[in-house]
Amino acid sequence: MSVHVRDTGPKDAPAVLLLHGFGASLHTWEEWARLLEAGFRVVRLDLPGFGLTGPDPTGDYTDARTVRVLAALMDGLGIRRAGVVGSSMGGRMAWVFAAEEPGRVDKLVLMAPDGFASAGREYGKAPKVPLLARLLPYVLPERLLRPMLARAYGDPAVLTEGVYARYRDMLLAPGVRRAILARVGQSVLPEPEPLLRLIRAPTLLVWGEKDALVPFTNAADYAKVLPDSATVSFADLGHVPHEEAPARSLEPVRAFLAR
């Protein structure tokens, strides 16, 4: 498959792989990439089914397929090991990758990752796709999209017209909305603890305490299981600290990656 990738910074510097969340694209990391690329090789991609990567021709959106795609991408770029940073859904992809490919992950940064059961999401069962969601390939109701995106920010005013337009346009890219529905239907959560216990990479958990999508209380669930982890939180930020306060949220992450 073809994958939309940006690979910036010195090619001989330590590599950092950035994985976006559900419904997002590599553009969510724009400010972090700009601030990191002086000292790191920064690789970001539109995950299969999103952005300009678009649909996976196999139709497979399982975690196992994503792990294979990420390993193949690193091979293709000549990257043996990397620091892996994931936000939300990308956070789950990051920790599953670190558990299954431990030799490829130097350090792990999880920003409000999903993976623990919640209302409507049980372990071992594919979620039911609501009827309204099934209309997504045919219509994108902006009256619903804007407030849904605004929930990701501690301060909804951060969702500028430009940022909103970027999210909307990436969702309108060819085949993306059908791919999103397919991913939702295939999204079966495994019991996270056995996989998390396999992770050996030092891990930094990053959370906005005003997160309305993946609650900050989940940080303690991860910290309890991960063998080598620390947590940093921001009292005023929401689900996407890297967009809401890029320089401030990056500071502890850059120190962690550089140590």
Tens-digit pLDDT profile for residues 99-138: 999 999 999 999 999 999 877 778 888 777 665 556 566 6
Which residues lie across from 189 on neighbouring strands?
123
Give the residue with greater pLDDT, 147 vs 48. Answer: 48
What is the reported pLDDT for 236? 97
Percent of the residues in the chain that have a pLDDT greater than 90, as a whole number? 81
Residue 208 in tokens? 């906005």
Give the residue with greater pLDDT, 25 vs 181. Answer: 25
Helices (H), the chain: 30-36, 63-77, 89-100, 131-134, 142-150, 161-171, 176-186, 192-196, 218-225, 241-244, 246-258
Closest C-alpha among 253, 226, 227, 248 to residue 237: 248
Which residues lie across from 227 on neighbouring strands?
none
Confidence of residue 28 (pLDDT cuts 50, 70, 90): very high
CA distance 133 to 184: 10
What is the reported pLDDT for 9? 98
> HSE-up of 151 (CA within 13 Å, CB side)?
8
Q: Which residues contact 86 (CB under 8 A, 6 or more apart)?
A: 18, 19, 92, 93, 94, 95, 109, 110, 111, 113
228-232: long-range contacts (C-beta < 8 A, 24 or more apart)? 228/200, 228/201, 228/202, 228/203, 229/202, 229/203, 229/204, 229/205, 230/203, 230/204, 230/205, 230/256, 231/204, 231/205, 231/206, 231/207, 232/204, 232/205, 232/206, 232/207
CA distance 113 to 207: 9
Q: Is 88's pLDDT higher than 80?
A: yes
Digit-coded pLDDT (tens) for 214-250: 999 999 999 999 989 999 999 999 999 999 999 999 9
Name the average pLDDT for the chain: 93
Q: Do residues 202 and 184 make contact, with C-beta atoms less than 8 angstroms apart?
A: no
